[in-house]
């Protein structure tokens, strides 16, 4: 109880408190063979009820009458640049934005992914050019829940993420790069999972404390996504609307792809999607070609158009440090080195990828190119 009160004083949202309460309650119940069930304690129930009653009406209460096209958010992700030109923090943001759209996921779902790549408890499987993921104890497999869309006691059903074009927006490639760069056990916290009898590293991290990066919170993931949405100026869209926007776009563009959308959302009943998530998506598109109609992630990217700065081609923008280091950029100077997300000029000035592209744009405009 004291832990929940302390978290509440630190500004944690009601969903975060509820998730923490459920996790602690389940852990205690397992440890005591059902003898202690904190979630049923009157004091805990009354505290959570009080927090919920005092919380402002959240965005989920204001159902979106129509969604903005997520192609705009994919464009924002594209502006990050190629994976090779990003520091680990920016690579994490890029992956988070891609996953929440490609998986039609809740922020809390992403907290349920751990780096278990093999064995019967695996959660991430690479299958040729594609990958599949599943969640450990997400909402639909919580004890006491009536939901049935799970593979067993602990895991959700598998969700497929197909390779896509352009490569800069290929979530499978971003995931591989991110895992490679952020799996050092001396730097990244592992979490003990009693049910799986071991310690595992969460997929996403946030704060750096006591020499290690700690598991990201639901609020952190939600805030990263909302910041991306706000940069795109997508009206009243909120993080909680992405789940419906993704699945609605798939069905709107390719009606026969309803099973793909249902699989992403992990819904067992069509009525749940139709009544609570489906809404019109703004935009007009050319028909999706037959070759892409079975690839949910490629359908979501339909209508995406890269918009690099003037005088910079999309091909130029997608080139990484290996291409740009050694080149002189007008009066900006020569790029002499690349280091952890920064292009370093001869003058010592540092530029991240999107800033470098703006300098190239200005230099080409000045030269009349």
In this predicted structure, what is the pLDDT of residue 61?
43
In this predicted structure, what is the pLDDT of residue 59?
46
Hey, which bits of the chain come out as E strands? 124-127, 130-133, 159-161, 191-193, 198-200, 205-209, 212-215, 328-329, 333-339, 342-345, 350-351
User: At 264, which helix (H) or strand (E)?
Assistant: helix 258-265
- How would you classify residue 310: left for phi > 0, otherwise alpha for psi between -120 and 50, otherwise beta? beta
Length of the chain measured in residues: 369
In this predicted structure, what is the pLDDT of residue 115?
97
| Model-wide pTM > 0.75 | yes
In this predicted structure, what is the pLDDT of residue 23?
66
pLDDT by 10s per residue, the chain, length 369: 677 677 776 667 776 667 667 667 656 666 676 666 666 677 877 777 776 667 665 544 455 679 999 999 999 999 999 999 999 999 999 999 999 999 999 999 999 999 999 999 999 999 999 999 999 988 877 555 555 555 557 899 999 999 999 999 999 999 999 999 999 999 999 999 998 999 999 999 999 999 999 999 999 999 999 999 999 999 999 999 999 999 999 999 999 999 999 999 999 889 989 999 999 999 999 999 999 999 999 999 999 999 999 999 999 999 999 999 999 999 999 999 999 999 999 999 999 999 999 999 999 999 887
Residue pair 162/295 in contact by the 8 Å Cβ criterion? yes
- Structure letter (DSSP) for residue 355: H
CA angle 203, 142, 228 (to 5 degrees): 40
Residues 6+ positions from 104 with CB-CB distance below 8 Å: 242, 243, 246, 247, 261, 264, 265
In this predicted structure, what is the pLDDT of residue 64?
60
Q: Enumerate the β-bridge partners of residue 188.
A: 213
DSSP string, 5-69: HHHHHTT--HHHHHHHHHHHHHHHHHHTTTS--GGG-HHHHHHHHHHHHHSPPPGGGS--SSB--
């Amino acid at each position: 109880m004291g832990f929940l009160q302390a978290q509440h004083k630190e500004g944690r949202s009601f969903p975060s408190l509820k998730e923490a309460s459920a996790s602690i309650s389940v852990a205690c119940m397992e440890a005591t063979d059902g003898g202690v069930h904190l979630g049923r304690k009157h004091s805990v129930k009354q505290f959570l009820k009080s927090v919920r009653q005092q919380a402002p009406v959240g965005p989920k209460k204001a159902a979106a009458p129509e969604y903005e096209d997520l192609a705009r958010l994919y464009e924002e992700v594209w502006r990050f640049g190629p994976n090779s030109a990003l520091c680990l923090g920016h690579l994490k943001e890029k992956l988070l934005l891609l996953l929440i759209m490609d998986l039609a996921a809740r922020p809390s779902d992403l907290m349920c992914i751990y780096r278990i790549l093999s064995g019967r408890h695996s959660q991430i499987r690479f299958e040729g050019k594609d990958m599949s993921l599943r969640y450990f104890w997400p909402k639909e497999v919580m004890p006491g829940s009536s939901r049935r869309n799970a593979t067993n006691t602990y895991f959700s059903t598998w969700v497929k993420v197909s390779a896509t074009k352009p490569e800069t927006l290929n979530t499978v490639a971003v995931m591989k790069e991110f895992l490679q760069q952020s799996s050092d056990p001396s730097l990244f916290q592992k979490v003990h999972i009693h049910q799986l009898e071991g310690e595992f590293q969460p997929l996403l991290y946030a704060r750096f404390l006591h020499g290690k990066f700690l598991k990201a919170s639901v609020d952190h993931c939600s805030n990263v996504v909302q910041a991306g949405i706000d940069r795109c100026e997508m009206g009243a869209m909120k993080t909680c609307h992405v789940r419906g926007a993704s699945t609605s776009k798939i069905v709107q563009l390719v009606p026969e792809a309803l099973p793909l959308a249902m699989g992403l959302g992990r819904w067992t009943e069509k009525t749940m999607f139709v009544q609570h998530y489906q809404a019109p998506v703004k935009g007009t598109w050319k028909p999706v070609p037959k070759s892409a109609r079975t690839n949910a992630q490629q359908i979501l990217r339909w209508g995406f158009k890269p918009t690099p700065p003037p005088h910079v081609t999309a091909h130029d923008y997608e080139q990484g440090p290996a291409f740009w280091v050694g080149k002189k950029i007008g009066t900006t100077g020569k790029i002499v080195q690349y280091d952890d997300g920064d292009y370093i000029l001869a003058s010592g000035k540092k530029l991240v990828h999107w800033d470098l592209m703006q300098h190239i744009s200005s230099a080409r405009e000045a030269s009349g190119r």
